[in-house]
Amino acid sequence: MADTDQVAEADRLAATLEGPLEHLRQARPFAKPRFQAQVLDVVGRLLRAPGGIEKLHLLAPRMDAAGLFAGSDWDAPANLLPGLVSGTLEHGAPASVSAEAVSLLRLLAVARGETEHPGIHAAAARRFLTQVLALNMRRFFGATDEAARAAGTQQTATDALFRYLADHVGFQDVLGELVDEIWRILRQRPIQVAPAKDMIAQIAITLSERGGEVGDRRLGADRLVSALFGPTAACMGDPGLERYRERLAMMDETDLRHEAQGLARAMHDTGLVSDYHAAFLLWVLDTEHDGMIADTLGLGSTGRDCLQQHRGLVIELIQRAVRPETAQALYGLSLLLDRGILHHGPIAPAFRRQLELAPCPAVAERLSVAGLHVAQPADLLLAGCIQVLGQPLGVGQGANPTCQSARAIAMWGQNDPDYLLHLVAQAARMDTVLMHFEGRAINSGALPEGLAIGAPLDADPVSVVLVPHLDRIYAEMGRLCADRNDDPHIWINPEFHGWWVGRVCAVAVDVPTGALAGAEDFIARFHMAYHPDYNGGEPVIHPQPAGVAATDAAGRFVGWHAITILRVAPDREGEMRVYFYNPNNDSGQDWGKGAVVSTHGAGERFGEASLPFETFASRLYLFHEDGMRPAPACRPSQDILACVTQEARKTWAAGRQEISGEAISRLAATEQPA
């Protein structure tokens, strides 16, 4: 009897919801907030009613489409941060709790293919939910207390929601999937590892509490946990830094060397640096065991050579930039030394400048806020420089619409590191960046904000300092060529990035009409510029900016996206692949119709993404080439061109008009030569 009453309650509330929901759907955007509040009020009760979550799961896509999230962050689901979910559910105002719950349930519907969303595809929705679940494992691994649930408190309603999600996301083993997911992310060696560390911390808690239930997926999890909390015998059991230093003091030379090597091995295995590792390196310096630095950093021969040449500088860098709160800088330093860039004349003095540099108050404030005040702003920035130069392909745009800026930082970090340090010094001291566009000076400090409103806070320190300026300059350059009736990147890319960007630019889209233009010729030219079989075997020498038409997992056009072509080379199976950098935080994306971007296992170096050459070509819409070399004789066969073009038509170019003939190709100059 009671059960029927309760089910009837969910039915009744779902019926009550219809009125406000219909009002919300009809309302003009400016009038939606009021009906949003009404809908969310009913949702709050439905969440606590038995059977209510099922009802909300069914209704969530309609609520979303009606505009429940209009005007809020939830309206852009691809930008949501998994780490914020539990805080909202636990401490949010009632309306925020309801909105978060509906958002999760509509993502569940997207992940399960029950509905589609213009802003997020199924794989991304599923990944988001996996991460949310990973961060909240204790909430649904816990025993179900039906009595507590019947009491209908907010806490139990939230736990019930997590359990519902875990049951329906469709994986049997959240932990296993999560571990795979963390490994997949870490193999791309991002600079920002805080989200991965949070998830590993959750895994550690779950393993210690209910390790017995986990089964054989445990191994990969153990490796992650130990890399972070106890990579060696001396820090086994996570004793705390104080106790750890006491243990070190009692070790002999051999033990210490093992310790150094163990820490370095764990670091290079995962890309994660344990707090103990940073503590060890500092202890080594303090106790004059300097001979251990190379082992502690896990250096190869190039790195050891650099260390020897620049010993004093490296020690200063360590003392200022590496500590348990900024442990990842240790990994950056290791890679920086192994890249050998300290042998490049300007780098060492540029770091000397960086050591002396005091950021101006506005920049210092941004650094402190973004860095959670764990260190002095100047030290945070120094650590950031070391990381970007050590792992330039680890730069990510965060949840900011600034792929061009992130791409530029990564490109300079890789190809023009002293120029990057020059920009950082300028921006840190003056809070402005001066660049030139076709001879015209552009001072970012005098420009309005670009795509990103305010500075990014979820990015690395170098991005925090530079992105607001680069973003504005990029926007200003776009404004200066807005009336040229062509894709502005033709002119912007070489001016913005550097001399090595090809001055001839081919574009597959006629900008005024949006039509696909000269597609087959475009593909042919791309082969002749980049494919070793058609360009006379010439490798990609400098990273080249390029534009892809981003698509979702169903192959539907999402938007234009900036990437960098890094290499073109055959993989181990002999298939020619394009290796590229994607400033997106996670390059492993499904672009639909078979274009699954690989980040590991197909010959990728850390931070690279790759696709087979033809597949990549079918998603490309803009690339640069030099133009000042003899035209290659060899053109791909018509079959290949037709096939690749067809792939484009089936995906991002679907529904576009088509202009036949030669590809649009422009020289980046203000006047065309006669």
Partner 1 sequence: MTEKNPDKGYVAILGWSPNAIDAIDRFDRRYVIVAPPWAEDYARANDIPFIAWDFDRLNERSHEIAHMLKDEGCDVAIPLFEETVEWAGAINSVLLDNPRLLGQSMLFRDKSLMKRRAQLAGIRVGIFEEADNHADVVRFLKRVNQTLLKLEGDPDDPIHFKAFDKAGCLGHRTIRTVEDVDSISGDEFPALLESHLDGWEFAVEAWIKNGKIQFLNISEYVTLGYSVFVPATPELESWRPRIEAEINKLIKAFDIDFGFIHPEYFVTNDGTMYFGEVAYRPPGFNALELIERAYGFNGYQGIVLAFDPKTTQEELEAFFPTPVEDATGHAGCFGAYPRRRVVERMEVPEDTARDPYFEFHELAQPMQQKVTKRTAFGTHWGLVYFFGEDPHRLRDLLKAQEEVDFYV
Question: 17 vs 235, which CB is nearer to partner 1?
Answer: 17
Q: Count residues contacting partner 1 (CB under 8 A)? A: 17
Residue (11 or 269) nearer to partner 1, CB: 11
Question: What is the closest distance, in whole angstroms, from the C-beta atom of residue 27 to partner 1 in the complex?
Answer: 5
3-class secondary-structure state, position 122: helix
Task: Report, in Å, the least distance between residue 500 CB and partner 1.
Answer: 43
> Taking the complex as a whole, how short is the minimal distance between the CB of residue 64 and partner 1, in angstroms?
19
CB-nearer residue toward partner 1: 67 or 588: 67
DSSP conformation letters of 309-363: HTHHHHHHHHHHH-SGGGTHHHHHHHHHHHHTGGGSTTHHHHHHHHHH----HHH
Q: How many whole angstroms separate alpha carbon 270 and alpha carbon 225?
A: 10
Instruction: Count CB neighbours of 286 within 10 A.
Output: 10
* CA–CA dist 620, 652 (Å, integer): 10
- Both tokens of 331, joined, read 């990994």
CB of 39 to partner 1, least distance (A): 8
Measured from the CB atom, the residue of 24 and 529 that comes closer to partner 1 is: 24
- Give min distance, CB of 320 to partner 1, in A: 47
Q: Which is nearer to partner 1, 71 or 514 (CB)?
A: 71
Three-state DSSP state, 627: coil
Helix, strand or coil, per DSSP, at residue 595: coil
Closest approach, Cβ 38 to partner 1, in A, equals 5
> What distances in angstroms separate CA 42 from CA 70, 88, 372, one per listed residue?
18, 18, 37
Least distance in Å: CB of 105 to partner 1? 19
Note whether 572 binds partner 1 by CB under 8 A. Answer: no
| Residue with smaller CB distance to partner 1, 44 or 262 | 44
Secondary structure (3-state) at 503: coil
Cβ-based nearer residue to partner 1, 24 or 224:
24
Residues 5-64 that bind partner 1 (CB under 8 A): 12, 16, 19-20, 26-31, 34, 37-38, 41-42, 45
CB of 41 to partner 1, least distance (A): 4
| Phi, psi of 357, deg, nearest 5 | -80, 130
Look at residues 78, 138, 134 and name the one whose alpha carbon lies nearest to residue 103: 78
Question: Pick from 267, 281, 200: which is nearest to 231 by CA?
Answer: 267
CB of 28 to partner 1, least distance (A): 5
Q: How far is the CB of 5 from partner 1 (least distance, A)?
A: 10
> CA 257 to CA 263: how far, in whole Å?
10
- Judged by CB, which is closer to partner 1: 97, or 165? 97
Q: Which amino acid is at 382?
A: L
Residue 25 Cβ vs partner 1, minimum distance, rounded to whole Å: 11
Please give the residues from 482 up to 521 whose contact with partner 1 meets the rule CB under 8 A. none
Nearer to partner 1 among residue 24 and residue 424 (C-beta): 24
Q: Which is nearer to partner 1, 98 or 585 (CB)?
A: 98
Of 396, 394, 384, 496, nearest in space to 442 by CA? 496
CB atoms within 10 A of CB 85: 24
List CB contacts of 124: < 8 A, sequence separation 6 or more: 78, 552, 553, 589
Smaller CB distance to partner 1: residue 37 or 642? 37
Tokens 């005098």, residue located:
446
Task: Decide whether 95 or 123 has the Cβ nearer to partner 1.
Answer: 95
How is residue 454 annotated by DSSP?
S
Binding mask 81-110 toward partner 1 (x if CB under 8 A, else -) reads ------------x-----------------
Query: By C-beta, is 41 or 198 nearer to partner 1?
Result: 41
Which residues make beta-bridge pairs with 658?
516
C-beta closer to partner 1: residue 91 or 343: 91
Q: How far is the CB of 26 from partner 1 (least distance, A)?
A: 6
Q: Position 455: which residue type?
A: A
CB of 40 to partner 1, least distance (A): 9
Q: What is the CA radius of gyration of the chain?
A: 27
DSSP string, 52-97: HHHHHHHHHHHHHHHTTTTTSGGGSGGG--GGGHHHHHHHS-HHHH
Residue 95 CA to residue 85 CA, distance in Å, equals: 14
Residues 6+ positions from 364 with CB-CB distance below 8 Å: 358, 377, 378
Question: How many C-beta neighbours within 10 Å does residue 274 have?
Answer: 24
- CB of residue 32 to partner 1, shortest distance in Å: 9
DSSP state of 267: H
Rounded Cα–Cα distance for residues 652 and 591 (Å): 10
Q: How does DSSP classify residue 120? A: B
Q: Name the site residues for partner 1 (rule: CB under 8 A).
A: 12, 16, 19-20, 26-31, 34, 37-38, 41-42, 45, 93
